[in-house]
Amino acid sequence: MRTLVYGAGPIGRWLSLRLHRAGKDVTLLAKGETYGSLASDGVVLVDAYTGEKKLARVSLAQELVKQDDYDLVVVAMRKSSRLAVCPNLAENRSLENILFLGNDVSGFQRYSEYLPMEKFLLGFPGGGGGWDGENLVFADGDKPNDKGSPLYIGEIDGETRQRTLQIRDHFEAAGFPVSVEGNIDGWLKYHFAFMGPTAGVVLKHGGDLQAAAADEEGLRMYIRACREAGDVLRAVGYKKRQPPIFNLYYWLPEWAGVWTFQRFFRSRKVEVAMGLHASVVGEELLEMMEEFAELKAQAGLETPNLDELLSYA
């Protein structure tokens, strides 16, 4: 499966490096100075757990033109940038499989203004990372030598098609665990219900994860904020809490939740995925907050804890 990874940020580099090292036919699209540095130095990631530097000389492109032929395009960019590249994607009539990968509360409708709905899927990367000085540090899984967190993908209508299975098999052959979701729109909305308050706690403490973990009252607010966000989604029709671990915010007594999430905020994966990313997540978070506010208005619910945590954005 000939693959184009559109976007050379942390997720795009991680995907292209993993696919390349697995022997897959992958090209990474980058522009300007980023293209120049990647052409010179290759794609380099630092393993968050071992400190090992991983290098791949991935094939590069500076643009997507009408004549290009790829079996799969993975758009791995920030939310606003993903929408901005849709006209370019629409110009190429041969593209049949486009996977938009990343945070999204608004759903699929905005993409359908540019592309036929049968051409694209939505998804979310399981790994996370950010820049520590000049090093791109990345955590694939929850611990060293972990098989990695799942790559979540799903069709807009919830069906599992032949192409869904082909894309799943393509990533799994490269070592990515893949979870095919029956309601990827709901999954992404519930991800904000977790990620938004999590980012709020991190930003409240200026990116200091240890301070966030030590703030017991802040963690109680965090648990309540996640419940409030989940209540909003349930009220507007998203009944299934996704992934199932989201139910911990409801099922655990608050004191047990504080202990559980203290460990969570002290984990290396969160330190890398949220701590290093906190300084650049603001713009995307603000956009999703506005979209979630529309859902909140539909639900007619008050969310004082969620509102306070999101104010730190």
Q: Kindly give the interhelix angle for 282-299 and 216-235, rounded to the nearest 10 degrees.
A: 50
Q: What is the pLDDT of residues 45-79, one digit of tens each?
A: 998 888 899 999 999 999 999 999 999 999 999 88
Instruction: Indicate whether 278 pLDDT > 80.
Output: no
Amino acid residing at 67: Q
Could you tell me if 257 and 306 lie in one domain?
yes
pTM of the model: 0.93
User: For residues 11, 13, 15 and 16, what is the CA-based torsion angle, rounded to 10 degrees?
Assistant: 160
How many independent structural domains does the chain possess?
2
Confidence band, pLDDT 50/70/90 cuts, at residue 11: very high
Could you tell me if 73 and 178 lie in one domain?
yes
To which residue do tokens 């099922």 refer?
251
Domain boundary pick from 138, 166, 182: 182
Could you tell me if 173 and 228 lie in one domain?
no
Residue 133, domain extent: 3-182
pLDDT at 277: 59
Could you tell me if 72 and 147 lie in one domain?
yes
Q: What is the pLDDT of residues 159-183, one digit of tens each?
A: 999 999 999 999 999 999 999 999 9
Nearest Cα neighbor of 139 from 14, 285, 264 is 14
Q: What is the pLDDT of residues 75-116, one digit of tens each?
A: 999 888 999 999 999 999 899 999 999 989 988 888 999 999
Check residues 137 and 283 and name the one with the higher pLDDT.
137
Instruction: Indicate whether 276 pLDDT > 70.
Output: no
Could you tell me if 71 and 177 lie in one domain?
yes
Residue pair 51/21 in contact (Cβ under 8 Å)? The answer is no
